Amino acid sequence: MTPSTSPSERDFYRQYPLYSPAYLTARANGRAISAAANKYIKGSLIDIGCGKKLKEGLLARFVTRYVGIDHEQTLHGTSAVDRIGTAYHLPAADAEFDSALCTAVLEHLEDPSAALSEAFRVLKPGGYALYTIPLFWHIHEAPRDYFRYTRFGIEHLFKHSGFEIIMIQPLSGFWVMAGAQLNHYLASTLLRYLVPLIDLIVASINLLALLLESLHRDDRWTWMYLVVTKKPG
């Protein structure tokens, strides 16, 4: 975080303290999305697969309208959802939105190309879309977990959907990916038997991962990519 971090952004980071298994990924995600939004996001925004709209706090100061869309069976509930729909059939008019956000959704879609075409439809010409897409991550939200993507697969997918790719940014190297995976593994298995030590173990792994990442970062092992795309026009 920087001195210019807004109150809404601070609320986002407070959800993931140092002893959270999601600390490493939320920290990297939040910083990258905020930096990209500062440069590319404005006006009305559609959040495709919004869940609980956890990213709204990061983007609130950049947009004038934030519309979250998700399907009725989402595991996150629909209390924060503004419009019910799917990535294949967005409840939005053609060229309705200036900007789009879609975080950790494409891996859960059987037909990602169709979903990208639909996002392309609702975005205004010249509008930007931010996507986060995993490379190395454990199976989650099963059985709707179909794909992982290399940067080359991402390039192929977006170019064939009509988007111009502005940037593909790895969000970590090996150590942050490994630390995050280890913490999620421990939190779901061993740590249930070590409740008094959970916070200390997780926090220690998080700090060690950040230290090792600062000493040597290899982006080939990223857990996630941030993709900035543009609809030509």
Q: What is the pLDDT of residues 197-214, one digit of tens each?
A: 888 899 999 999 999 999
**Region class of 90: left (phi > 0), else alpha (psi between -120 and 50), else beta:** beta
- Among 2-11, 51-60, 77-86, which is the least confidently predicted range? 2-11
Q: What is the pLDDT of residues 167-179, one digit of tens each?
A: 999 999 999 999 9
pLDDT confidence of residue 3: 40
pLDDT, mean over the chain: 93
* Domains (range + CATH), the chain: 7-173+219-230 (3.40.50.150)
User: Three-state SS for 144?
Assistant: coil
67-71 mean pLDDT: 95
Residue 12 has pLDDT above 50, yes or no: yes
25-50 mean pLDDT: 97
pLDDT confidence of residue 4: 57
User: Please, which residues have CB within 8 angstroms of residue 192's CB and are 6 or more apart in sequence?
Assistant: none
pLDDT confidence of residue 1: 44
Helix, strand, coil shares, percent, the chain, to 5:
40, 20, 35
Q: b/e map of 140-149 (b: 16 or more CB within 10 Å)?
A: eeeeeeeeeb
User: Please, which residues have CB within 8 angstroms of residue 15's CB and are 6 or more apart in sequence?
Assistant: 26, 54
pLDDT confidence of residue 196: 72
Q: What is the pLDDT of residues 90-118, one digit of tens each?
A: 999 999 999 999 999 999 999 999 999 99
Q: What is the pLDDT of residues 146-173, one digit of tens each?
A: 999 999 999 999 999 999 999 999 999 9
